[in-house]
Structure 1
């Protein structure tokens, strides 16, 4: 019988290693399966994912408990399955809620506010240890609601409809920040667990009858201001019309003093020349009056002379010859209550205007400065030509 070769060193080592496995392969297989099952089952407790903008507080079951000097940052962390990690949102948060408050008028109002805040990352360990994850209902809402009630109790309901609302919001924010700052003392860290950003008053609900009364009051106030504006506008319009009338009177005085018989004759001759130079077909009858003017002009100059001679049947001995043509009926003067504006003395006309302005001042409550200014304008206009004599325009 042939002799078998001796096994090599590697074969002997392999046989020695496989011998226990052959004897206990069933037990080893069960152990691997059990370990795999336990790993899968406990993976949710062993692996913790910290989302973006969050922080994790570690709690050791068999050691010092809550860890306050550090916290987990973003990412996936592996911990023992018997320990715990609590997540806190470190981003800016906005929480709306309603508060029932009593104002100084004794009315109950509903204030809808929105609180914007952040959790301080360096104190989330103390926040978890002292307050817990439900810090919103335990700390923030009760403290801010109390400060809102205290602040609102010192103002009236109407203040919420005015600019005082912004000041009230700042007062609530300052008081709430001071109140939240009381938490965290004694730990030697930041003065507060919560950093308050803003307390916004979103809406104020008043009783319907109170809201209607305030709205009616504001409407009445604006109507009164509108009436004051209309009165002021009419007062200025009255002054404007007086100044306009004075200017018209001065213009009429200046123009009427320059209309003479010679001026009318010259205008008639000028009109005759214009008619003669026209290329249109025409027929002009000349010699209708004593001056030989065109018939189209009528006997206006003769009527003026006749009217003047009738009105001046008993002329004054001091009248200068040739003035009779200027003493004609003035239609503007007739509308203002006199037939001859040129006969109004300067001092009498100025006194009449000043008396009229004084009456307007009493009716419209104008100031003395405005009356003085208008009186100066009237005096200047009368001095420039409104009160000049008929001979001054020749």
Structure 2
């Protein structure tokens, strides 16, 4: 077997070194991610350039890249806060957020990869304590949940607006009151509902009674007007009109004119 040429060994060694360098230099960034470059001999974290984008990237082997997800993300948080009268309230919330892509280098340098625990969640907890402390348990349980959600979101945005984090929304999923307080509120709401129903029935009955009274008064007034307008001549005219109509009926046989009271006709011989 022939010996390898003297040049072959250095070539093989150089090839191995190149392969190692390429493998160390190649950085692949997935969809929805971005990379923060750290230059070992060039000032550390790069903050004055856009982060590395998706796909294949080459960096010097002595540098490093930290990859962040830059899509909208969701984190769930359970908090214990106090109402305006000092009662313990449990609040479950979903937080939608994403890092500010163009400020990713500063976020990495100043806050680090665990920025959610260092920046975002403390801001949410602080805002939740401040907002919930303005309301009573009754308000939290019934009509004010949407208002509380909006206020927590707005106050949290103010806290994180200069922290390189974009807060998209906060959804209050559940508000849990102490069991005794919840039962008391439910009893009170039930009593209020029953009271409203009773008042409604009472008003309806009063309106119906007023309607009947008005109808009766109208009939009485009509009868008075009719009685005042009747006299013998009108009654005779009415009788004559009725006689004419009856005479046209096939059942009428004999009509005696002027034989009844007040000279009204008498009808005889009906079949």
TM-score range, shorter chain: 0.7 to 0.9
The residue that corresponds to 1:51 in the other structure is 30
The verdict on how the C-alpha distance between 1:36 and 1:233 changes in structure 2, with shifts beyond 3 A counting, is: same
The residue that corresponds to 1:214 in the other structure is 185
**Cα deviation 1:118-141 (Å, max 9, x = unaligned):** 312332212212221121122211
The residue that corresponds to 1:79 in the other structure is 59
The Cα of 1:247 is off from its aligned counterpart by 1.5
- SS of residue paired to 1:25: coil
TM, length-normalised to structure 1:
0.58
The residue that corresponds to 2:76 in the other structure is 96
**Aligned ranges for residues 1-394 of structure 1 at < 5 Å?**
24-25=4-5, 28=8, 30-36=9-15, 43-70=22-49, 71-181=51-161, 191-278=162-249, 280=250, 282-287=251-256, 289=260, 291=263, 292-295=265-268
**Paired positions, count:** 264
164-173 or 31-40: bigger deviation: 31-40
Task: Give, in whole Å, the separation in 1 of the partners of 2:186 and 2:223.
Answer: 55
The Cα of 1:159 is off from its aligned counterpart by 1.7
Structure number with bigger Rg: 1
Alpha-carbon contact 2:141-2:175 (below 8 Å) kept: no
Aligned Cα root-mean-square deviation (Å):
3.0
The Cα of 1:97 is off from its aligned counterpart by 1.6
TM, length-normalised to structure 2:
0.81
The verdict on how the C-alpha distance between 1:211 and 1:256 changes in structure 2, with shifts beyond 3 A counting, is: same
The verdict on how the C-alpha distance between 1:285 and 1:152 changes in structure 2, with shifts beyond 3 A counting, is: same
Alpha-carbon contact 2:252-2:268 (below 8 Å) kept: no
Structure showing the higher strand proportion among its residues: 2
**Cα deviation 1:269-299 (Å, max 9, x = unaligned):** 3333223323x4x2534447454421599xx
**Cα deviation 1:79-123 (Å, max 9, x = unaligned):** 133321111222333322211222233332221112222312332
Alpha-carbon contact 2:76-2:95 (below 8 Å) kept: yes
Structure 1 unpaired stretches of 5+ = 1-21, 182-190, 298-394
The verdict on how the C-alpha distance between 1:24 and 1:62 changes in structure 2, with shifts beyond 3 A counting, is: farther
